[in-house]
Chain A
């Protein structure tokens, strides 16, 4: 079974990400049985039928808006954000907005071009699950979550900036 990183450890995972291929449309594509994470457009086109399922997930492309899911987030066991390329940083703001603005508290999974060296940032903005790109060693990637032990600024993971959390030295006590 495929593995993902969840809550900082490598675990088995049986969710399938549905991606439309050439010729398929959101309206007509058949969503397979079982645990499926569907594209936002499929959710919007077939939501009525999909809502009946006990376990359904949705994913956002990097050019889609998280507000589209406003009021519907309770329907999902997992919400995923796709990184078409790891250098496409829109997913970071999407994740932050899902958490901070839309109040999503369930599993937030990074999918697509998900690599070790971005995991630290991803977890900071609110991701708690990472489907590391299949050709990479996931046990190596998990180390990326602990690259840093301190941070200056706030994000989803850290509600207070460093200066509100610790007593920092000033010029008089510095050498």
Chain B
């Protein structure tokens, strides 16, 4: 993976010093809170309900075991012993003291990490495919480009105070695992007919109040022009994006207002001025970065390991885990393993310091000391030998990291919600927990099969509810918490935005609502159909009619705030 050179170290070191002085000036009142707020946000420090939350960037989801151990250390020393992985491949600590935040950054810098631009109206951490470099369906490894974008976007002087936050995702595989359609810019690394590498450029996707899928504004951008083209997009947006209403300030609103064709025309016009200038990438620069992402020292192994096949046949628990949590690898005899952070009873994406240290050990032992964070809030060991899967499974199981539920009902994407976040209208974690508990039976989950259940505690949609096959959105009605349900959303190659099925429900009704939706699916599905396929074929109406047919009692137990504190 990428390693800092003296320049990266220097820039991050100077950032820590700058931030330390900003905190000092805030504490001595030289900086007003209004002035400091925007500065600290650009450094990922939010003021939440109970304390400060620090969001640390995990560039395009790549993490070294040493870095994960550092998170564990931070969790113990400065937080309450755990952290939370987010849908944008970052990690958040929820109980941070302002006075200690510069010290944490210094600690992070020692392992080549930072919290630069993890919040605020600037270019955020670029996210990517968690299987980048190992996926069997990869066209081009997106990571070198993601790193080049990281460097270009870090402290870009012109684009630090944009109308609103700005998120870029990049994917280089046949299947889009980076949710590129719901990003401000989505990049698909592709090859043209001549075999040259370039990008399909999507702009204006997003969730929040106005969910929109991105529009393709360029079918093929030769890779050398990546930076100047991004600069052109950002310059158009910085000048013309709305600043009068924060809910209409994202680039998607601009693209929608003038149309993707007109937006593309403006970008091309701007680009014509800077194209082929000094920002043009060179083969040498690409190679410098690409050399950090070469294959590890793979062994030559048979495609099928006999002992592994035998264990899979004998041990149903292992077979279940293989089926859901183990992904195809480009290299014979290897596999990518998803460690589930969705054990029922645990807030989705949460991980304890002990687990972090344990996963770091697993990475060292089984996967060349590296791991990845997924936007579904799980972890991936990307280079595991097939012959070691059984041992890894048993080890992961002993630490609650082997729930065989990846892509299933309880692999819920969920934001921190009202338990932590001051933006939230409603709690989200207790809803996820109540659903996970109701449907804990793994055989039932395997029978239901692929399904994406996403929960957001407010319209900002950090829990990606718009693209959940079932989406749940917390809303506030007259001071109490209600949940709106949508159906038919999807991420990936066939992205779609879910449709709201009707009036919202109370928290305690939600497990029954999900149960009724699943009943309709079970009744209506054909043998091959996933949940989303059935919804697409028969439409929302049969689901809606059944859910609202009879009243739902609101008496069932839902884990409350205290259960998660």
Contacts and interface: CB of A to CB of B under 8 A. Distances in A.
B121 A150 contact: no
A149 to B, nearest CB: 7
B133 to A, nearest CB: 14
Interface in A125-175: 125, 137, 140, 147-155, 159-164, 166, 168-172, 174-175
A171 B279 contact: no
Interface stretch (B281-289, B404-412, B456-464, B513-521): B281-289
A94 B18 CA distance: 26
Contact of A92 (B11, B14, B238, B292): B238
A49 interface: no
A171 B294 contact: yes
Contacts of B35: 86, 115, 117
A163 B285 contact: yes
Interface residues of A, number: 44
Interface in B136-173: 151-152, 154-163
A43 to B, nearest CB: 21
For the complex, would chain A's binding face be called helix, strand, loop or mixed by DSSP majority? loop
A46 interface: no
B157 A155 contact: yes
Contacts, number: 121
Contacts of A161: 152, 227, 278-279
A169 B285 CA distance: 10
B77 interface: no
A117 B278 CA distance: 28
Interface string B217-257: 00000000001000000010011000100000000000000
A149 B243 contact: no
Nearest to B14: A148
Contacts of A86: 35, 38, 161
A27 interface: no
Contacts of A164: 278, 282
A168 B7 contact: yes
8 contacts: A89-B160, A121-B160, A147-B17, A152-B151, A153-B279, A163-B284, A164-B278, A169-B288
Please list the 10 inter-chain residue pairs (A to B) with the smallest Cβ-Cβ separation, ordered nearest first.
A89-B161, A124-B157, A171-B291, A121-B157, A169-B5, A174-B3, A163-B285, A152-B151, A92-B158, A171-B292
Interface of B: 3, 5-7, 10-11, 14-15, 17-18, 22, 30, 35, 38-39, 121, 151-152, 154-163, 227, 235, 238-239, 243, 273, 277-279, 281-282, 284-285, 287-288, 291-292, 294
